[in-house]
Structure 1
Amino acid sequence: MERGEVGDVRKKRSKWAIPLVLLVVLVLLIIIAVVLGVTLTGRQSAGLKTDFLNRCQNFKGYDCENIWNTFKQVFVNRDPCNVSEEAYDPLIAAVPFKRLCNQTMLWSKTNKAVHELTTGRDCFRTIEDTVLGSSLNNLSWCGMKGSDETFTTGCPEWNECVNNSVRSFWRRASAAVSPKLVTRCSGEKCPSCGGTSALIS
């Protein structure tokens, strides 16, 4: 082989070497992105479940694993903006809000004022003091159409859509308490806080 031919072969190799290296790097980046995506999605789901179960287990006498399964059936594989309040009815039925004698349940949209009032007082309880309220307080969750996963990121914000998973839960939980308020308060004066809360004894 002559020098000219060797030079031509080297030029052809170097001509293909750079695109080949770039292709290999691109494939590796795609693989890493997919693995990270799958891993992080699994962690989100596991994190929500772990938080839920840990909080639930602070309450005695509840089958927290069963409650979790009932809870996730409400929103998994659904459009995150299309989870109605009524979708939570099986969960509320499985874990009803119990009325405790000589205690009062207080619910409100005035979070700070209500919790200042109830802190350190056994006679007042908020929804967040119940097994469901405590298990879900300050958490974000949603599902995605076509997915069996639970998500904690990428979920709609409170006001982004009316029927998002979190907003629908809290509205349904408040509604589950409301009939007790009407029954208890008929013909009596019931105190309120800021015009948006109610006390139920």
Structure 2
Amino acid sequence: MARPRNIVLLRHGESEGNADDSVYERVPDHALPLTEAGRRQAVEAGERLRALFGDERVSAYVSPYRRTHQTFRALGLDPARVRIREEPRLREQDWGNWQDAEDVRLQKAYRNAYGHFFYRFAQGESGADVYDRVGAFLESLYRSFEDPGHPPNVLLVTHGLTMRLFCMRWFHWRVAEFESLSNPGNAETRILVLGENGRYRLDRPFEHWCTPESYDATG
């Protein structure tokens, strides 16, 4: 099995939805483009990734959203060394159709109070739904490692919540641990690095916004 040395998770650059949540009333979530600031963030991320990858090959998986595709293109990776696949299972948590800005703010407040993992948007998904499809993607990713010629680097261009859920699934974190973590910033990375012991570790942790709760399994 040819396990890659680096599995890089990259959040897209700043999108118009990050800058102005009223845009969801006019533009579908999947169609939101990057802002100029988001493009600059992606270019800067590309400089860091080119230094990390060097001349090595990369297997890239990109969420089907416009902002993730634009982020990938702005990275400036050598197309001769990159195998790219669009991967719908790495998409953002679905909110469902166009959204009223005030309703979005209200549902986000509900989600914060209820819990990001279990709260389900009225016409969309819960975090648990995203966890399930990320798990299905991981099964496909594991199978790709059986190819002895698999590239030594994997790049996932995706979304903040999806990044946290990917790591939750990979490292078998509890729900309470996931709930305590903050999303990375736009165009930030987290890298799973293969150690000498054959196990992966995160190059740096996610920031915590609170202390994980402890649940009494007997109560």
TM-score of the two chains, using structure 2 as the length reference: 0.28
**Greater RCO structure (CA 8 Å; 6+ sep):** 2
- Tell me which structure has the larger Cα radius of gyration: 1
- Write 1 or 2 for the structure with the bigger share of helix: 1
